């Protein structure tokens, strides 16, 4: 069989524990036999991040920027206990946070839907994608408690200018909180959301509470509208797509009666809460994909789950664990089809589409790992381990 030659490179970012084991397996069995892989490899395994004083993480992020496409394995976020376990020189920051800040990107999470696993919400026929603004608001707040009566004010000072506003004239003890966001961050977030909608050909919704918070949430609404009108409206209309702004409570009420197939752009707190609701209603963590989109275009694909630490310890003891590689495989197919789109390589795009179809067929025909077997209707006759699952996908790759 003639392997597909890739015109340009992908930044390949390896990681830790069970997902590192599966990374090599997926490549060896499902990709390398069919594609002459062209990647720049970055080893973000915890030991190598430590050895390179985390320079490798920065190089990986810069490679995604330069090449336009990256694919990433899950990585350990170092903690005190990990420092002991891996004899680290120091506790390095989360690689995902480092990459996200270099790319100024937004993370989009999308569940992979399978007919034998029905979402808890019956009307959801297509995935609901959540884009969460990952800067500011209550996550970078200032707050304290107030012991008794007194005035609470917000003060802004710049040089000799000062602006102040009364928050509350407290009559007794209570609490107070101040929060902020920046036009730049909101604008980057809006751009990433519209880019994602265009890439995936899905409409974009954004919701806030601008009736109550006319300045703060109103600024979010206005920046989204401005970015849409000036940079995206024409492209959206050409692609038959739309942008819809509504109040957050209206959005929540509509979502549970909607058929899906939309991007729901959320402010930081809304995204935190709603992404967990969507993930849990959709099924297993191993069926959730994640894409980081930079407002200037580059994208990084990964699985939403972590390194599946407990499975790794069991694998080290010789167990063939029933870890589900689906989201990892979809990270690879996402990156390959993005590369195919940028390089106009339809044969690479069809390979990626066939591989995704083979995975779905495998699961729907009852060859499943343990996490899915629990949720599946009908129940499979037998639960597969990760190696058997990958072989079952390979067996269907020609016929998907």
Give the footprint of ligand NAP on this chain (CB under 6 A).
Answer: 74-77, 96, 285-286, 302, 305-310, 323-324, 371
Residue number with CB closer to ligand NAP (231 or 391)? 391
State the nearest-atom distance from the C-beta of 107 to ligand NAP, in Å: 9
Residue 306 contact partner, candidates Mg ion, ligand NAP, none, CB within 5 to 8 A by sort of partner = ligand NAP
Q: Which two tokens stand for residue 310?
A: 């407990």
Shortest distance (Å) from residue 24 CB to ligand NAP? 15
State which residue, 287 or 355, has the beta carbon closest to Mg ion: 287
Q: Smaller CB distance to ligand NAP: residue 99 or 336?
A: 99
**Sign of the Cα pseudo-torsion (316, 314, 307, 329, in order):** positive
Taking Cα atoms as reference points, which of 157, 215, 153 lies closest to residue 181? Answer: 215
279 half-sphere exposure, CB direction, 13 A CA radius: 21
- Cβ-based nearer residue to Mg ion, 248 or 335: 248
* Residue whose tokens read 């959320």: 266
Name the minimum Å distance from CB 76 to ligand NAP: 4
Tokens of 348: 């690479």
Counting other chains too, the contacts that 335-342 makes at CB distance below 8 Å and 24 or more residues apart are 335/10, 335/69, 335/70, 335/71, 335/299, 335/301, 336/10, 336/31, 336/35, 338/68, 338/69, 338/199, 338/299, 338/301, 339/6, 339/7, 339/8, 339/10, 339/69, 342/8, 342/68, 342/69
Which of Mg ion, ligand NAP, none does 310 bind, CB closer than 5 to 8 A by kind?
A: ligand NAP
Shortest gap between Cβ of 205 and Mg ion (angstroms)? 19
132 DSSP β-pair partners? 107, 266
CB of 154 to ligand NAP, least distance (A): 36
Question: How much helix, strand and coil, in percent to the nearest 5, is found in the chain?
Answer: 45, 20, 35
CB nearer to Mg ion: pick between 271 and 334: 271
* Minimal CB distance residue for ligand NAP: 306
Which entry of Mg ion, ligand NAP, none binds 276, CB below 5 to 8 A by partner kind?
Mg ion
Residue 272 binds which one of ligand NAP, Mg ion, none, with CB within 5 to 8 A depending on kind? Mg ion
Q: Which of ligand NAP, Mg ion, none sits in contact with 347, Cβ below 5 to 8 A by type?
A: none
Pick between residue 268 and residue 337 the one whose CB is nearest to Mg ion. 268
Calculate the alpha carbon distances from 190 to 80, 182, 196, 331 in Å. Answer: 36, 12, 10, 23
Residues within the interface to Mg ion (CB under 5 A): 272, 276
Instruction: Work out how close the CB of 172 gets to ligand NAP at its nearest, in angstroms, rounded to a whole number.
Output: 42
């Amino acid at each position: 069989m003639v392997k597909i030659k890739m015109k340009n490179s992908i930044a390949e970012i390896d990681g830790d524990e069970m997902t590192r084991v599966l990374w090599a397996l997926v490549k060896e069995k499902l990709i390398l036999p069919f594609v002459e892989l062209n990647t720049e490899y970055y080893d973000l395994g915890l030991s190598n991040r430590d050895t390179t004083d985390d320079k490798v993480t920065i190089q990986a992020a810069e490679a995604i920027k330069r090449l336009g496409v990256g694919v990433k394995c899950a990585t350990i976020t170092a903690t005190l206990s990990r420092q002991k376990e891996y004899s680290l020189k120091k506790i390095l920051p989360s690689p995902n946070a480092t990459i996200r800040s270099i790319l100024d990107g937004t993370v989009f999470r999308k569940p992979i839907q399978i007919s034998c696993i029905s979402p808890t919400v019956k009307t959801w026929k297509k995935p609901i994608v959540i884009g969460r603004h990952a800067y500011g608001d209550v996550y970078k707040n200032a707050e304290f408690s107030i012991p008794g009566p007194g005035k609470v004010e917000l003060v802004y000072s710049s040089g000799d200018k000062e602006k102040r506003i009364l928050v509350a004239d407290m009559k007794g003890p209570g609490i107070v909180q101040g929060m902020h966001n920046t036009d730049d961050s909101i604008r980057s977030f809006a751009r990433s959301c519209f880019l994602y909608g265009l890439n995936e050909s899905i409409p974009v919704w954004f919701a806030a509470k601008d009736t109550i918070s006319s300045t703060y949430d109103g600024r979010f609404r206005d920046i989204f509208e401005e970015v849409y009108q000036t940079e995206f409206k024409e492209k959206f209309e050409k692609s038959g797509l739309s942008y819809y702004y509504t109040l957050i409570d209206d959005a929540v009420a509509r979502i549970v009666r909607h058929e899906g197939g939309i991007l729901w752009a959320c402010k930081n707190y809304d995204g935190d809460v709603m992404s967990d609701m969507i993930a849990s209603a959709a099924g297993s963590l191993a069926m959730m994909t994640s894409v980081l989109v930079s407002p200037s275009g580059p994208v990084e694909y990964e699985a939403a789950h972590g390194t599946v630490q407990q499975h790794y310890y069991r694998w080290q003891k010789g167990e063939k664990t029933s870890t589900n590689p689906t989201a990892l495989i979809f990270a690879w197919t996402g990156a390959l089809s993005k590369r195919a789109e940028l390089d106009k390589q339809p044969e690479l795009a069809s390979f990626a589409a066939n591989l995704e179809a083979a995975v779905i067929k495998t699961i729907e025909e009852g060859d499943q790992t343990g996490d899915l077997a629990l949720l599946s209707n009908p129940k499979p006759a037998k639960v597969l381990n990760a190696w058997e699952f990958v072989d079952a996908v390979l067996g269907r790759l020609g016929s998907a």
